[in-house]
Amino acid sequence: MFIIGALIIAVGAFLVIKTEWFMTNFGRIAWFEDKLGSEGGSRIGYKLVGILAIFIGIILLTGNGSNFFTWMFSPLMSKI
């Protein structure tokens, strides 16, 4: 899990740092534009996805993935 976590952190950091490259190559995302504003909505969205990826990567890198995801999804699983 260490290598997977490190790769996810690297992808997330690349997404945050090179947001303009993603905008040029993949374009604007309508949902981000609608929900986050018309000026810079997709840029903020790309950065939020990158930050989320970094957060998940750190959780996996430290070896707490199973504990975190069990805690996060426990309210959903208790209803089943």
pLDDT at 70: 87
CB 61 within 8 A of CB 11: no
| Cβ partners under 8 Å of residue 11, min gap 6 | 50, 53, 57
Band the pLDDT of 80: cuts 50, 70, 90: low
pLDDT in tens, 10-57: 999 999 999 999 989 998 888 888 888 767 888 999 999 999 999 999
* Residue boundaries of the structural domains of the chain: 2-65
CB 13 within 8 A of CB 46: no
Tell me the two tokens of residue 64. 């707490």
| pTM of the predicted structure, to 2 decimals | 0.80
Does pLDDT of 79 surpass 70? no
Higher pLDDT, 73 or 7: 7
